[in-house]
Amino acid sequence: MKTVLITGCSSGYGLETARYFLAQGWQVIATMRTLQEGLFPPSKNLRILALDVTRPDSILAVLDTAGPIDVLVNNAGIGLFGAFEATPMSTIRDLFETNTFGVMAMCQAVIPQFRERQAGIIINVTSSATLAPFPLVAPYTASKMAIEGFTASLELELKTFNVQVKLVEPGYGPTTRFTANGQQRMQGLIPAAYELFAHSVFAGFANILAVTREIDVAETVWRAASDTSNQLRFPAGADALALMQLA
């Protein structure tokens, strides 16, 4: 039985992905920064562990507890909407600590066991913001674009050890807690000069018909984990698929 470790499983894409792998009969290590009860049905194949991807000691403790894994899914991330002009650099650094450096730290921590076994899959979850530009998400896009380039290079680096590296690129998920989870850090990021423009952007979101559901991402991560080809990028969701075709 294969084992997958998934970060950011408290809600949204990570939660649904963990549930999906469980349903497929995998051993699942679902991690989240703050442990929550009642997210999963009881299962002997499930372990829920606290993990802060910005803390090296937390990463090492989780991997020590987890033991050997077959697949790492780097899903944990934080969102940010706002005018770049008004966004403090401290907020941008916090964003990169989770979305970029946290992913890199997780990869660096698991690569030795994958390399030694000559087997393993790393799946980094980014965003459709890397497929086409969107306004008011410049720092967020930068944090995800960095992982796109990192992953493409890492895939070439680890191929010689039979370790696969994949990207999953979800689209806009209105049913996730992406915006709600970032409310506090987004306060004050739409100054008066940007209000009219921001209102038009947010109004446009209400008219989007092609969106990404949690199950779209879960199924795509599963497909990436099962893929034996050299495919690197896996768009997830109707909108991401459309953007990929236009790219």
| Choice among 20, 140, 172, 194 that is catalytic | 140
Task: Answer yes or no: 140 catalytic.
Answer: yes
Q: Is 6 exposed, middle or buried (0-12, 13-18, 19+ CB in 10 A)?
A: buried
Q: Which two tokens stand for residue 108?
A: 């660096």
Beta bridge partners of 47: 29
Residues in the chain: 247
Strands in 7-120 per DSSP E? 27-32, 46-50, 71-74
Residue that has been written with the tokens 């049905």 in this structure: 41
Distance of CA 241 to the CA centre of its chain: 17
| Residue (of 42, 154, 48) closest to 103 by Cα position | 154
Angstrom distance (rounded) from CA 47 to CA 190: 40
Catalytic residues: 140
